[in-house]
């Protein structure tokens, strides 16, 4: 642990990512046997429980007892957790993320441009400071969850920005979705103070943020990643490498252990190297998501146009190879023209715009994303910016209505 601010405040006890990466336990490869009898369970593990390989070759048969005692021994003590945690930006995502840190026992200090949004967190035990600078000065690690590149820059590097409160031994973790250039600029300013910087945009929306089920796409200072890993695990998804209902009793026992204790994770937080890589990964993911939603919208409307029930389409899609939680979650409300905001449409359009810039920078054709981006722009021009991004379907409805008049 390279940083100097480790104090016993948080109550969670989770393994550090280095302990996971250095685990002597076998690679979690669905094609290789982990069991003494040589059994393979390659076809039985649901995809969401498949782990990313974390070491090279399986060396010994799996033993739950050995595994659990090794994990207990390697779990960091509470005094290895960052003591004082700052949180800047308490919107749809930032509020529940900060709330989960507070509920886990962390000493959290908050700031938000609209001060009233701090009140619910203060009533849960958070402290308040009146500028990003003051938060950064009073905390060991400061997280920022801002709307877009400009606000992320303002909050980090503005007149009363976080950089002004940074110094050696501190860390700044920007979890906003921004482009790589913005992230690099923020990182440079933060590091000029002697502090460490990590970009860590998240995949997962309002509900995963509330449930502590986010996926972090991090890049930057590896030692800061190691330091904040337990905090990311509080806010993020924990994956167990074994299926919870696997017939092998040891695997069942292990997954129960994993899920109950939240002690062992495979990577639901990714460390991707240099600053810019986390931002790029996030933009690629959201480029795909924006196009998927646009395509799904077309399907729902075409279904209705030809006299089929779009609710049945949602059901059909959910059972086949193109099923996605997003379609099952948003489809039923889209059919009713309801768009309760989880991911604001304006942010999805921002992400498509930034992804197109990324593609342009490397001359990669992205015609599908470009078309989807146009549709989100139309939706914005129709006043749908603050609706959920599934409201993009409204832009197509307008087009279909005007066609039918011709």
Ligand X SMILES: NC(=O)C1=CN([C@@H]2O[C@H](COP(=O)(O)OP(=O)(O)OC[C@H]3O[C@@H](n4cnc5c(N)ncnc54)[C@H](OP(=O)(O)O)[C@@H]3O)[C@@H](O)[C@H]2O)C=CC1
Q: Which residues bind ligand X (CB under 6 A)?
A: 89-94, 112-114, 117, 145-148, 151, 154-155, 176-177, 202, 205-206, 342-344, 347
DSSP reduced 3-state for 4: coil
Minimum distance, C-beta of residue 189 to ligand LL5AMS7Z, in the bound complex (Å): 25
Q: CB of 154: closest distance to ligand X in angstroms?
A: 5
- Quote the strand ranges of 184-281, DSSP E: 196-199, 202-203, 215-220, 269-271
Neighbours of 194 (CB within 10 A): 11
- The partner in contact with residue 151, picked from ligand X, ligand LL5AMS7Z, none with C-beta cut-offs of 5 to 8 angstroms by kind, is ligand X
Tell me which of ligand LL5AMS7Z, ligand X, none is bound by residue 117, counting a contact when its beta carbon lies within the kind-specific cut-off of 5 to 8 angstroms.
ligand X
Minimal distance in Å, beta carbon 341 to ligand X?
8
Phi/psi of residue 218, nearest 5 degrees? -105, 155
Considering only residues 337 to 356 of the shown chain, the ones binding ligand LL5AMS7Z according to CB under 6 A are: 343
Q: Which is nearer to ligand LL5AMS7Z, 206 or 246 (CB)?
A: 206
Burial class (CB in 10 A: 0-12, 13-18, 19+), 301: middle
Site string for ligand LL5AMS7Z, 143-182 (x = CB under 6 A): ----------------------------------x-----
Q: Burial of 347 by CB count in 10 Å (0-12 exposed, 13-18 middle, 19+ buried)?
A: buried
Count of residues for the chain?
406
3-state secondary structure of 341: coil
Rounded to whole angstroms, the Cα distance separating 381 from 36 reads 62
Distance CA(355)–CA(376), nearest Å, equals 14
Angstrom distance (rounded) from CA 196 to CA 221: 6
Q: Indicate the residue among 263 and 350 with the shorter CB distance to ligand X.
A: 350
From residue 192 to residue 211, what is the string marking binding to ligand LL5AMS7Z with x (rule CB under 6 A)? -----------xxx------
Residues binding ligand LL5AMS7Z: what is the number (CB under 6 A)? Answer: 6
Q: Rounded to the nearest whole angstrom, what is the least distance from the CB of residue 286 to ligand LL5AMS7Z in the complex?
A: 5
Q: How far is the CB of 182 from ligand X (least distance, A)?
A: 11
Annotation marks residue 191 as catalytic = no
Contact 361, 402 (CB under 8 A): no
Query: Considering the complex, what minimum distance in angstroms separates the CB of residue 243 from ligand X?
Result: 27
What does 27 bind: ligand X, ligand LL5AMS7Z, none (CB cut-off 5 to 8 Å by kind)?
Answer: none
Q: Output 62 or 343, the one with its CB closest to ligand LL5AMS7Z.
A: 343
113 binding partner (options ligand LL5AMS7Z, ligand X, none; Cβ < 5 to 8 Å by kind): ligand X
Are 73 and 95 in contact by the 8 Å Cβ rule? The answer is no
Given a contact cutoff of 8 angstroms between Cβ atoms, the answer to whether 303 and 309 are in contact is yes
Catalytic site residue from 129, 170, 269, 282: 282
Give me the helices (H) in 94-246, please: 94-103, 119-123, 132-138, 149-157, 180-191, 206-211, 222-235
Q: Assign residue 262 a region (left: φ > 0; alpha: ψ between -120 and 50; beta: otherwise).
A: left
- CB 13 within 8 Å of CB 75: yes
The 205-244 contact track toward ligand LL5AMS7Z, x by CB under 6 A, reads x---------------------------------------
- Report if residue 19 touches ligand LL5AMS7Z, rule: CB under 6 A: no
Contact partner, 281, from ligand LL5AMS7Z, ligand X, none, Cβ < 5-8 Å per class: none
Helix (H) and strand (E) counts for the chain? 16, 9
Task: Describe the crossing of helices 367-381 and 277-305 by its angle, rounded to 10 degrees.
Answer: 70
Q: Which is nearer to ligand X, 281 or 342 (CB)?
A: 342
| Interacting residue ranges for ligand LL5AMS7Z, rule: CB under 6 A | 177, 203-205, 286, 343
User: Which residues are annotated as catalytic?
Assistant: 282
């Amino acid at each position: 642990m390279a940083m100097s601010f480790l104090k016993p405040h948080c109550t969670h006890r989770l393994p550090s990512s280095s302990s996971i990466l250095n685990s002597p336990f076998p690679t979690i490869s669905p094609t290789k046997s982990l069991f003494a009898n040589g059994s393979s369970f390659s076809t039985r593990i649901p995809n969401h429980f498949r782990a990313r390989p974390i070491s090279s070759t399986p060396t010994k048969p799996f033993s739950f007892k050995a595994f659990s005692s090794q994990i207990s021994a390697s779990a960091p003590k509470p005094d290895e957790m960052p003591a004082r945690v700052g949180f800047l930006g308490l919107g749809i995502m930032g509020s529940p993320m900060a709330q989960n840190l507070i509920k886990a026992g962390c000493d959290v200090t908050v700031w938000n441009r609209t001060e009233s949004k701090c009140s619910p967190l203060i009533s849960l035990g958070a402290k308040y400071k009146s500028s990003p600078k003051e938060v950064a000065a009073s905390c060991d690690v400061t997280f920022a969850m801002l709307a877009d590149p400009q606000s992320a820059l303002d909050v980090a590097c503005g007149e009363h920005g976080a950089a002004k409160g940074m110094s050696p031994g501190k860390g700044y973790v920007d979890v906003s979705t921004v482009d790589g250039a913005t992230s690099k600029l923020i990182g440079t300013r933060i590091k000029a103070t002697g502090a460490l910087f990590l970009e860590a945009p998240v995949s997962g929306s309002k509900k995963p943020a509330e449930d502590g089920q986010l996926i972090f796409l991090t890049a930057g200072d590896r030692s800061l990643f190691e330091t904040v890993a337990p905090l990311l695990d509080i806010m993020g998804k924990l994956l167990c490498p074994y299926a919870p209902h696997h017939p092998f009793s040891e695997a069942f026992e292990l997954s129960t252990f994993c899920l109950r204790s939240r002690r062992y994770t495979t990577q639901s937080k990714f460390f991707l190297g240099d600053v810019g890589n986390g931002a790029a990964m996030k933009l690629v993911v959201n480029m795909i998501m924006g196009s998927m939603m646009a395509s799904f919208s077309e399907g729902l409307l075409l279904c209705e146009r030809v006299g089929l029930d779009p609710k049945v389409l949602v059901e059909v899609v959910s059972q086949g190879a193109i099923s996605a939680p997003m379609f099952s979650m948003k489809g039923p409300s889209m059919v009713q023209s309801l768009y309760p905001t989880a991911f604001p449409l304006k942010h999805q359009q921002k992400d498509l715009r930034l992804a197109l810039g990324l593609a342009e920078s490397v001359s990669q054709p992205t015609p599908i994303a470009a078309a989807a981006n146009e549709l989100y722009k139309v939706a914005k021009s129709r006043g749908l910016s603050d609706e959920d991004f599934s409201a993009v379907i409204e832009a197509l409805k307008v087009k279909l209505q005007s066609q039918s008049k011709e």
